[in-house]
Amino acid sequence: MKVSYNWLQSYLKLDQTPEQVAEILTDTGLEVEKLEKWESVPGGLEGVMVGHVVDLWPHPNADKLNVTKVDLGIGEPVQIVCGAPNVAKGQKVLVATVGTTLMPEPGKPFEIKKAKIRGEESFGMICAEDELGIGTSHAGIMVLPGDTKMGITAADYLGLETDYVFEIGLTPNRTDGFGHYGVARDIAARLSLKKQVGAEKPELKKLDIYQSEKPKISVEIRDKQGCGRYAGLLIENIKVQPSPEWLQNRLRAIGQTPINNVVDITNFVLHEMGQPLHAFDAARIKGNKIVIDTLPKGTKFTTLDEVERVLDEKDLMICNGEGGMCIAGVFGGIRSGVSDHTTSVFLESAWFNPVRIRKTAKRHGLNTDASFRFERGVDPNGTVFALKRAANLILEIAGGEVVGPLIDEITEIPQQVALDFSLERFNSLAGTNLDEQVVTGILKSLDFEIESTTADKVFKLKVPTYRADVHREVDVVEEVLRIYGYNNVEMPDQMRISVSVGKKPARHEVIQALGQALVGRGFSEMMSNGLTRSDYIKEVTGNQDDKSLVYMLNPLSEELDVLRPDLTISMLESVAYNLNRQADRLMLFEIGKSYEKVEDGYRETTKLAIALAGTRFRESWSSPADASDSSDLRGHINAVFQIMGLEASFGDSGKNPFYGSAVSVHLRRKNIGILGSISKKAMKRYGIKRDVLVAEFDLDSCLKAIGHASKTLTSLTKFPSVRRDLSLLLNENVGFEEIEKIAYAKAGKFIKEIGLFDVYEGKSLPTGKKSYAVSFVLQDENKTLNDKQIDKTMKSIQSELETVLGASLR
């Protein structure tokens, strides 16, 4: 939201600079995101002065040019070549001096330089309206009245305005900051901490309202749930014309385009008081009746932007006797607005249900100044004041007379909130020691009514209705504290803290941290449908009668007939889609649910799936175009477990139809997932032509383990480690876990890490056999291991593997 510095000064006189005001606003919760200078004429015509043409003669080398001598009142007259047909000796004119930058068109500045025109020197330019950017006429130079003082600046002569505009990031709860007056009230409250300052509310002149028994235009609220209050006033015999300069400047400064005096006044009051208004051409109100109701679904309605919109039966409408005139609280209709021929207007000021307005605005893709305010909740008790304020301005600027009574229909509006506020509790929560006078002064400056005070300083308060977000005592604490200033809360000289047992992190916090970490590592998060097609699964697995699949009773289509049993299925669909559209590097992850049918019902599991495809790095002269491999994926998995404070291990996965080669992911010797490359059969079924690496594991098991994870601090060993590898020929039913168990038992304290880095099953091996390549990392924390100790340990492991598992070295 944009706020004008000059406009704020209409309600309180500011000694502070715009920069200081910006700091005050930010401290009080109206964060200033940007502060910029605004000028009614871009550039402010700096360098343009009033001059006196003291001499003139024809240019010796050009028939249509004249050479002039112009006195600027700052030294010797300057010579200027001028081509205007109306230039004459003795005139007072506006002169752009050398070095001046003019901007006749936005974004197209040009600088006045010393020049030689057809052999004659020229030290400036005598200007026309369009050259200064203050008009469109180019018939000749501007000729000023003869008594104009010579040497004054063009800005002073023309009364140009310079302003500073604050761009405020208005949060949804700060409905009190919808208008300039509300912003001024906050500034005044902060300034009152040092001296008594108040924001002066616009003064209303008494309206000469003709109190007839029956108004010329009646109002009926039929949809009482949608419209809680509707006020209106009829003004006749007005004259629609351009607004005065001051009003246009106020609107232009905050980015609004002036239209005509009536519309400009409604926009002005909206940005002044935060209350949207609408002006109807009274002659276009058919049947002299306004009805607030809905229209049948499918009704077509053309809005001010000349777009025909199809209404929903829940869209609140302002109607006349024949049809819709305006989408209530959102956008006006093209046939009921004020035009140059309008002579009578019906002013509307209302309170609409915020939820209804928000849904209508979203439904039609409209975000207007009115909907922005109505959907957050305007002050239900500010409607009549805003209406009278607009009527005052119309009578002053557009003339006319009020006809008939002021209509104010009320069905149901939010009432003032009453609550108790304890001074002792405030100081306890805020960490302050403020006295009663300071606190009550802040409350009164924010329009809180103090009905009574008990002996122990508990105040009975009534909250102003423009603060729709204040319902609890703690909300009032926040209000007082933001005006007092968070930066003014003194830090204690001594701080005491207690050491408590660390709590298990919340589930959503862990999931959020994992997502952020993966994004930081270059991954993109995907969210896929929990439904998939059963024929994909059956074709890849070869199991046509899979009892674990969860079928839909009433599937939307044949392609979405089962709940996915794992995330790999959805992941492969996304990988195929992207690779088929020329993606050369994919890093995807998804955190979602998988579903399976079990003996006692159904099981729903939260899982994490990660996919890599294509090159390891983006194409660059400094990095090779190598494809991602399993070590890359394993590194990402280890990083994920480190974030959770857990340690993963890897082992034999057994056969899995979706994977060609794979290893299982273990947590505390429990198999919780799988990691590997997708099988050729699965790739063919999904139409994938490049190698894809996928990892998927049970996140629920990890989240449960976090609370029981212990961390031990150990010093770094001074002695080196050594690695030995064994290539083992094993029966195909032997798992990696069995090798791990035997190795840890035989190597004792020397074994630090066991890893499986290759699995092979092929034609060169005997039937029923497979080959494992296993690494063993050995280390003694107290001394360097010698070859004799290492060989003895490895022979012990090898012997036990041969005896227990029937293993042999390849």
Annotated binding-site residues read 469, 475, 478-479
Two tokens, residue 221:
């609220």
| Distance, CA of 220 to CA of 281 (rounded, Å) | 18
Please tell me the distance from the alpha carbon of residue 612 to that of residue 695, in angstroms, as a whole number.
9
Q: Identify the CA nearest to 276 among candidates 364, 354, 365, 371.
A: 371
SS3 86: coil
Contacting residues for 720 by C-beta, under 8 A, at least 6 apart: 779, 784
| Cα 539 from Cα 535, distance rounded (Å) | 6
Instruction: Dihedral sign for Cα 563, 565, 566, 571, please.
Output: negative
Residue with tokens 């400094």: 622
Q: Distance (Å, rounded) from C-alpha 68 to C-alpha 57?
A: 7
> What DSSP assignment string belongs to 542-589?
--TT-TT-EE-SS-SSTTS-EE-SSHHHHHHHHHHHHHTTT--EEEEE
**How many H-runs (helices) and E-runs (strands) does the chain carry?**
21, 41
Pairwise CA distance, residues 805 & 652, whole Å: 15
* C-alpha span between 565 and 594 (Å, rounded): 5
How far apart are the C-alpha atoms of 252 and 673, rounded to whole Å?
62
The per-residue DSSP string of 213-233 comes to SS-SSEEEE--TTTEEEEEEE
735 contacts 653 by C-beta, under 8 angstroms: no
Of residues 663, 630, 648, 551, the one with CA closest to residue 597:
551
Task: Give the dihedral sign, CA 657/658/662/668.
Answer: negative
Closest CA to 103 of 111, 95, 94: 111
- Could you tell me if 260 and 340 are in contact, meaning their C-beta atoms sit under 8 angstroms apart? yes
CA 542 to chain centre: 48
Whole-number Å distance between alpha carbons of 532 and 546: 15
Decide: 678 and 572 in contact? Cβ < 8 Å.
yes
Q: What is the dihedral of CA 524, 528, 534, 539, to 10 degrees?
A: -10
Distance CA 429, CA 479 (A): 13
Which amino acid, 661?
S
What gap in Å lies between CA 65 and CA 312, rounded to an integer?
67
Closest CA to 677 of 575, 789, 606: 575
Distance in angstroms (rounded) separating the CA atoms of residues 358 and 161: 37
Determine whether 159 is exposed, middle or buried from the number of CB atoms within 10 Å of its CB (0-12, 13-18, 19+): exposed
Binding residue numbers for Mg(2+): 469, 475, 478-479
- Both tokens of 74, joined, read 């700052």
Burial of 190 (0-12, 13-18, 19+ CB in 10 A): buried
Place of tokens 């109607």: 319
Report the distance separating Cα 177 and Cα 2, nearest Å. 11
